[in-house]
Structure 1
Amino acid sequence: MNRVNAHNTSFFKGLLLATLVAAGSAVWAQDPTSTNAQGEQTWTVNFNDTDIQEVIKFIAGATGKTIIIDPKVRGPIKVINSKPLTSKEVYELFLASLDVYGFTAVESGNIVRIVANRDARNLPIPTEKNVNVRDDLYITQVIPLKNTSAAKILAALRPLVPQYGHLTTYEPSNALIITDTRANVARMNELVVQLDKIGITQTDVIPLRYANATEVVNMLTQLEKPDPNRGMTTSPPVIVADKRINAVVISGDDMSRQRLKFLIDDLDRPQTKNANVRVVYLRYAKAEDVAKVLTGMMQSFTQSRQAEGAAPNTQQPGVQADPATNSVLLTADVDTMDTMLSIVDSLDIRRAQVLVEAIIAEVSDEDGKELGIEWMYRDDKYGFGASANGSRGSIGGIGSAVLAASDKNASQDDKDTALANLASGLSGLSGQMFGFGRLGERTDFLAVLKLMQSSSKTNILSTPSLLTTDNNQAVISVGRQVPFRTGSYSAVGTGGNSTIGSPFTTINREDVGLKLEVTPHINEGDSIVLDIKQEVSSLSDVSSEDGIITNKREIQTQILSSDGETIVLGGLITDEVQTGERRVPVLGSIPVLGQLFRSQTSSKSKTNLLVFIRATVVRDDKVLTGSTAEKYRLIREEQLNHVRNRGLLVRKSEIPVLPEWESRQPVIDLRQDPEPAKAEE
């Protein structure tokens, strides 16, 4: 490896001597004829603040390279060495010294350029594919990536490149371009290889035996959320559930997939087989209703899990209601039990109540007019009265009383009795009357002209008050059950043969009277939706061969009202006009004079059914207690009025009166543990 001839040897000796004398620096080289075990010439080189120009001359002679020095390259160099070096090792030492003092060497064939580090990137730097030598020679290398994005690795390597180096990416080929010393390029090349291995993406399918794939994926996704504080440069793994085969599909680098496999193995465990039984005592809800809701929900929940491909649960949930204690018995695994308890808590709440007060009134406008002449007659033996409108009974009694009172042969007692009967009969007639007649010894008659007009107004049928919980129907019915014939059977036969049997009639009893059904629904803001069905039925005066005829008026509607607002329903008016004429046979048909023996009637009626309803939301006991106390006091005040207006012969103690209203004591819940008794002081 020694390329220095004898001429060069003499030159080195003179150079070293001149340097020692002139510059005061120590540069000592071993005799050029010294060789190592391999026969290579060696030097023991030490530079003590030697000018870099002189050092470069020495290196050029030792290595045989042509060196071009940039004018900017100047200054002393200090190197301490005690080991004999070959020419190759001397050159590597020289390159390392240049890097320390801010210079570098750029090779182009056998020519070496010594320049400042910051100017090296502008020179034709050699490009090497494989870096086998780790010296400080300035080179450029292109590193292709196979698995990871070059842009992501660029961010990780940039802090490792000095200011005079250069690092960039080439996106079309996903490669890194590095310009730096061989040693630094080799170091970054090793890092790139490791980072590119981390980015290798593969896919694994992991079937599950016990757990549900969807639930496992949801849990793993939460665990694998990227944390900005970690500074991760790799992409997070992809986790997907395959419901068809109940498996988890993971895609990512090897480290991520191994971590996920361990987690999935820990999660895919059989559920406990131990029965978990709880008894939940309900405070407000009904045990049967809660059990029905839970049973339906658990069936739907189980079917949904099986449809998603989950393994069958070893502990099927069970629900049983105990009406005696108003409690529900729950049997399920731990996770399902928590869900069931949460549902029970949501259902077992105190529901608001609605107080519905109604007034059912029948407003009628009925006018009746009657015009007629009533005749009375008496002879020695008999007395009678006749009315053209058929009021024979009352007029006959009046006629007999008048004639009896005028009988001269009657005793005083009989006359007094007749006068009393006359007064009673006249008081029972309505309208205006006047009469004329002749009272003689043998034959008397009397005629009474009657004019009557009647009118009626309002009739309150009922004032019901209903209290019910939200979404529950309340019904009040006042009336009687009337039998209606629905069929009959009798003995029948053909051809002289008859079927022997007992005839019978089938009937069906139906309610006739007043009926009110209300179902409240409390909305947000205390507005109330009321489903109302109100029915008023009665027996008709008209009969039929087929059975009884009933009159029925019904209102069925849904309304929205505010809390405490009064709503009126109805307004269906029935308008009925009736006219009639009654006459005395034969006499009533005589022209002109027949008017004296006829009576005409005319009636007109209008009936309007109105329902006034007020709904009040009751959310606490105070409102309910106040409403009850108000009605209680009204009844008691009515009883007190009867006591104050009682007759002289009625004693006060004989009229019942309710006691004063007193608030009831709170109900004690026996299911709770009683408070310990306080010790007496």
Structure 2
Amino acid sequence: MTMRKIRKFSIIMPIVFLVCFVAGSAHLSLAQPRQQNPSSQPAPSMTPGPSPSEVSPDSFISIDFNDVEIEVFIKFISELTGKNFIIDRRVKGTISVISPTRISVNEAYAVFESVLDVHGFAAVDAGDVTKIIPSPYARTMSIETRLKEEADSPNDKIVTQLIHLKYADPNEVKQLCAPLVSKSSVVLSYAPTNMLIITDVYSNIKRLINIINAIDVTGIGKEISVLPVEHADAEELSKTIDSVFNAEQQAKKGQKDVILVSDKRTNIIIVLASQTGTERVKKLIAMLDKVTPKGNESIHVYYLENAKAEDLAKVLQEFPTKQQGDSDKGKKMAPVLSENVKITADKATNSLIIVAEKDDYEVLKEIIKKLDMFRSMLYIECLLMEINKDESLNIGTEWLVGDDTSINGKDVLWGGGFSGGATGGDPGYLQSAYSASTGQPSLLPPGFSMGVFGEAIQIGNVVFPNIAAIVSAYKKDRSYHILSTPQILTSENEKAKITVGKNIPYLTKASSGDTDYANYEYKDVGISLEVTPQINKDRQVRLEIAMEATKLESTTDLFQPTTLKRTITTVVVVHDAHTVVIGGLIDDALSSTDYRVPCLGSIPVVGWLFRSMGKAADQTNLYVFLTPHVLETKAEIDAIYDSKNLNMQDIEAGNIKLFKDKISVPTLIMNE
């Protein structure tokens, strides 16, 4: 305060006290001359009253000021309430207060805050002192902040009020309250907690709270809007936008403000929201509902030509991906994909559905092109040959005695004697030498047979059969025969299997009693060939071979036959169109037999008349001949077709060629 003001104050105050003391009135009037020429201004009116220092807080006073300097009024209130004030140098001007009724000291301080607010000033408490500053600066200082409404608060005190909204959108309420506060007041919204922050005089804040309580109710202001979608899928777009509002609502921990429903048939989105919420949805749709530029799609479909979609998808899914936080610095690493790349195989169309950004898709596309290549095919010709070297020699004399008799009205020769292995039966077993149907000998041994048949000899009452001497010489020699000539076409690295044979029943369990039942198990008997080829760039073929040959060895028991099984499992490498042979000695047996009549057969020279002997050698080999033909072009495939077509014509003409140019190979083996 300047010295001039102090002098004016010291002159005026005694006059005021003197007038109040003489008049004895409760009215108090303070006046101060204006800063202009004092002689040109009339003196302010004053109403006498008690001194402020002599007034108790419970006393009632009347305040009446007319064009008094605001600093004088502040001084009066300071002495009246005992508060300490710090006055900003920008606080200047005159005030007028008319109070015809008496008020308490506390009410006088409320009048003081109202006077300051009217003139653009504010009283801000700061500990034991109160700052008198311009109102715009008061909003940025440490004013009182309240979370709840207080009933006994001074009406014109500047405070910051926090208001929690239950249903209404804070941004919308902010726009509503902005015109209802002064220019120096502040209204802020905070969407994450659904809060409204207002800094103003408390009287106006109370008014705003009443308005907000009236509009902050559930469902108010919501409307239904139908928004068409032109380019995007309405269902997918609705999910995307809804996820945005869900995340926002979870942060607010309030009720959901926007409800979205998509209609797939008409490709529209139905919105239930306030006007502001609807506008936000419209903006999001306008941003997202665009034609995807070619090459920038996030979902790609790649149709495979040669590879299998399921197998290729598994390979690509194992490709390394870049994790979050990976650094490209340091040593050089192999190319990686983003971790959000998704690859799915569609079996029906043999295609890959790839969800990836453009850069990742370009990397994948180059890899797929290299893997989706035409794989060479392989035509395999196979010859399964069994070579039996079976030689036997039977030589000797067989004695038979017999007679003719009648069986079923026909004459046949019967008898018994010594047989050294003839096909007719075991030695000494009575057997029929004639066919019951033709009357001709039917059980003579194979090879050369000679004999003499005569009438029966009768001595007394005893009849003896005639003696027949049969000399036989038999030799058997068998060479080889082809078991099977399978041929099969397969792709590289694909397992191929061909089976030629039949199923025969095996009796596994049988029971008799009250209920007879039997369990059978069927087994394959025949030729089975399984081949897995692998072809290199030089047209060399690596073959993984598994061959099995099974045949019936004995059928004496119909449901429990004996089978002979031979298998070969190996891996060979052979050049295109070349033949490889696998196999070898399977069985080598040598047997010798000697049939003779006891005693008589042991006599030198003469004993050969009562003796028969034989020798047999059995050698069995199984060979597998394989000839692969690599097919990489259409011309090579057509050549195989033409060759097989000619074979069919040869078969129709009677010139059967089961395995061209291969029949001579076993002959060389036998000559060895």
* Alignment TM class, shorter chain as reference: 0.3 to 0.5
Q: Which is richer in strand?
A: 2
Q: Normalization by structure 1: what TM-score?
A: 0.43
Q: Normalization by structure 2: what TM-score?
A: 0.44
